[in-house]
């Protein structure tokens, strides 16, 4: 199944490649994508230099899979337990992999639901697609919220803006969930932690400093979280460099502020995100 041990951390991962030279790494711990390098040589994802690769702690950067809870929107620990759990590889090729978490319902007494969570990753020369499918394998309805908590690498946070959210309502997590409406592009001059509700399915990160643009296309996820920890929160996070807020940005397709998904027994839910890089 193409599983190798990571030299630096000793954890299992799968390395994806395309014939033209794009590459991506996916750790079995959390079904966690930690890098996406395009064939044209650009590193799209941010991975903290301070990340701790010690399960069950989540990796800091790349794409943590938040499931079955986003943030604090429920009784579980922050962002649910999928990102802290080992997945198994069920299918792989040179440029794609599918990982599976079979939960018995005994992982956490606060979430007594058996489920299967499948995460697949497909690499192309200038694009990466992730699909997340949750199936309720129990006999009771199951509620969940979730996100593909994607950390993007940026040249310099003040040279970046986010397009596609103008006029969209959001709740500001830094003001106790106060409802507000976005006016113009999103820019970063201070800490930002917002849940944009029922957003368009295409959002763009325009990086004037790098002369590039990442287009995020999502399906199934109604919401999008936008986060940059800025100075104080960066210092407070033990697995994040004090200055790293300057070179990262999270845009997270999510089921969050618009309400949980309720899955009847035997039913399935799917969400996807595709990241495509282009020059400005
Ligand atoms: O430190 P964690 O658990 O990985 O969370 C990081 C951030 O994740 C974001 O999704 C949240 O909106 C933030 O509030 C949070 O700080």
Tokens (6 digits) for 87 = 């997945």
| Any domain includes 17 | yes
> Which tens digits make up the pLDDT trace of 149-176?
999 999 999 999 999 999 999 999 999 9
275: part of which helix (H) or strand (E)?
strand 268-279
Residue with tokens 């794409």: 63
CA 130-16-208 angle, 5° bins: 65
How many whole angstroms from 20 Cα to the centroid of ligand 1? Answer: 35
Find the CATH number of the domain harbouring 89.
Answer: 2.70.98.10
Q: Confidence band (pLDDT; 50, 70, 90) for 189?
A: very high
Q: Cα–Cα distance between 17 and 38 in angstroms, integer?
A: 10
The verdict on whether 161 is a catalytic residue reads no
Residue-number span of the structural domain to which 195 is assigned = 3-275
CB 194 within 8 A of CB 171: yes
How many whole angstroms from 39 Cα to the centroid of ligand 1? Answer: 30
| Any domain includes 10 | yes
Please tell me the residue having the least CA distance from ligand 1 atom 3: 78
Does residue 268 have a known ligand-binding role? no
pTM (whole model) above 0.90 = yes
Q: Give the pLDDT mean for 48-76.
A: 97
| Any domain includes 87 | yes
For ligand 1, mutation pick of 227, 249, 250 (most atoms within 8 Å of CB): 227
Q: Confidence band (pLDDT; 50, 70, 90) for 21?
A: very high
Q: What is the mean pLDDT of the chain?
A: 97
pLDDT at residue 182 is higher than 70: yes
> What is the number of the ligand 1 atom nearest to the C-alpha of 78?
3
Q: Cα–Cα distance between 47 and 33 in angstroms, integer?
A: 10
Q: Give the pLDDT mean for 80-109.
A: 97
Domain count of the chain?
1
């Amino acid at each position: 199944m193409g599983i190798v041990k990571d030299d630096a951390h000793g954890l299992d991962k799968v390395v994806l490649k395309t014939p033209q030279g794009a590459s991506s790494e996916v750790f079995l711990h959390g079904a966690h994508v930690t890098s996406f390098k395009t064939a044209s040589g650009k590193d799209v994802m941010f991975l903290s230099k301070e990340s701790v690769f010690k399960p069950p702690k989540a990796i800091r950067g790349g794409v943590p899979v938040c499931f079955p809870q986003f943030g604090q929107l429920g009784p579980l620990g922050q962002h649910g337990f999928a990102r802290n759990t080992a997945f198994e590889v069920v299918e792989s090729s040179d440029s794609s992999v599918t990982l599976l978490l079979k939960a018995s319902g005994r992982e956490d007494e606060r979430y007594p639901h058996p489920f299967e969570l499948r995460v697949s990753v497909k690499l192309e020369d200038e694009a990466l697609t992730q699909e997340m499918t949750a199936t309720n394998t129990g006999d009771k309805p199951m509620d969940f919220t979730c996100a593909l908590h994607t950390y993007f690498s940026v040249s310099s946070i003040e040279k970046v803006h986010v397009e596609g959210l103008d006029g969209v309502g959001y709740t500001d997590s830094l003001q106790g969930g106060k409802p507000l409406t976005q006016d113009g592009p999103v820019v970063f001059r201070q800490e930002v932690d917002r849940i944009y509700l029922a957003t368009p399915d295409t959002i763009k990160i325009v990086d004037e400093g790098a002369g590039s643009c990442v287009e995020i296309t999502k399906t199934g996820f109604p919401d999008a979280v936008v986060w940059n920890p800025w100075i104080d929160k960066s210092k407070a996070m033990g697995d994040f460099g004090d200055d790293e807020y300057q070179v990262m940005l999270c845009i997270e397709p999510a089921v969050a502020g618009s309400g949980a998904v309720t899955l009847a027994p035997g039913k399935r839910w799917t969400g996807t995100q595709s990241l495509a890089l282009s020059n400005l």
